[in-house]
Amino acid sequence: MATIKTTYIGGLRTEATHLQSGTTIITDAPVDNQGKGEAFSPTDLLAASLGSCMLTIMGIAARTHEIDMDNTQCEITKIMAANPRRVAEVVVNFKFPKTYTEKEQKILENAALTCPVFYSLHPDLKKTVDFGW
């Protein structure tokens, strides 16, 4: 069974619907690729998926090990390349609201770096991760 239904709605935009919840996301081509840049681009979603996946898997590990990581954030920078046009690098910078022990840091780092999206990205895509410890 399908997970997502995506429809091209014109004007370089799509609407993706998560079939289980009915939640929708609009994408728009970026300004540097003939779009208006008024919504996430598909490559923005790739970068956002990485950050969300890393935080989610860290959250599972945090719950298991009773580590409070609520309000942890990451900022993701997507760096594009040409010929062919693609995401060449994603830079992920974490911002933690509190200080962790060395053991807790290792647990969180291992979780982040073993998330499914991280593993699913092509090895040629450079992934730079700064935990800011």
Same domain, 66 and 114: yes
Confirm if 74 and 60 have CB atoms less than 8 A apart.
no
Q: What is the CATH number of the domain that holds 115?
A: 3.30.300.20
Mind listing the pLDDT tens digit for each residue in 22-63?
999 999 999 999 999 999 999 999 999 999 999 999 999 999
When the pLDDT of each residue in the chain is averaged and rounded to a whole number, the result is 97
**Same domain membership, residue 27 and residue 50:** no
pTM summary value: 0.94
CB-CB contact of 86 with 79 (8 Å): no
Domain extent, residue 23, equals 4-33
Indicate whether 19 and 71 sit together in one domain. Answer: no
In the chain, the number of structural domains is 2
Is there a contact between 11 and 17 (Cβ–Cβ < 8 Å)?
no
Same domain, residue pair 11 and 53: no
Instruction: Mention every residue, 6+ apart, whose C-beta is less than 8 A from residue 72.
Output: 55, 58, 94, 95, 96, 97
